[in-house]
Amino acid sequence: MAKEPSKSLKKIKPIPPMPSSGEGKVPTKGDAQVAQESGSRNAPIINIGIERQDRAAIAEGLSRVLADTYTLYLTTHNFHWNVTGPHFNSLHAMFMDQYTELWGATDVIAERIRALGHYAPGSYAEFSKIATVPDVPQTPPKAMEMVRILVKGHETVSRISREFIPVAEEASDAPTADMLTARCTVHDQTAWMLRSLLED
């Protein structure tokens, strides 16, 4: 009878090729893959304790979060410019606080993608392929409709971010999981504050 191998020995996995869109753990939208792997022959291979295929999956997920965050940022900034009506002063100021926070978040998300060894998407063409948050309406809506749109937008980004927390955790990527958890906290709180404006 053949001797059973020791369970203490970890099986060495070969580095697989880059996963194609839709392969692995990360759901994609429209079969679009935008988080292309970066690197050069002159730089050492990334060795941060996260396997290559996991880094690719996480970067793809973060790209979707980035696209939605940027789209929500642009919508919020548009509403800051175009809000009218009796609540102008308060909404104008609130929207500015919100788009400023979103703008800062896009940098944090994009730089995490880069730290994982992938290029961060940064064009409207790329974002339109993978964003779930709809584009800002061409005709500015009434003030309270703006608020409703932003409630839905923040809830959407929170849901998309939550999809990828388990992916990061499974790959032992605590920085990404913590970042996404923090983003969910911000979006949940902002959605609550905006929703409160619509209650009687």
pLDDT in tens, 96-138: 999 999 999 999 999 999 999 999 999 999 999 999 999 999 9
Structural domain count of the chain: 1
In a domain? residue 5? no
Residue 194: CB partners within 8 Å, gap ≥ 6? 147, 150, 151, 154
- Write down the pLDDT at residue 48: 84
In a domain? residue 15? no
CATH of the domain at 98: 1.20.1260.10
pTM of the model: 0.81
Average pLDDT, the chain: 85
User: How buried is 172 (Cβ within 10 angstroms: 0-12 exposed, 13-18 middle, 19+ buried)?
Assistant: exposed
Boundaries of domain holding 182: 52-196
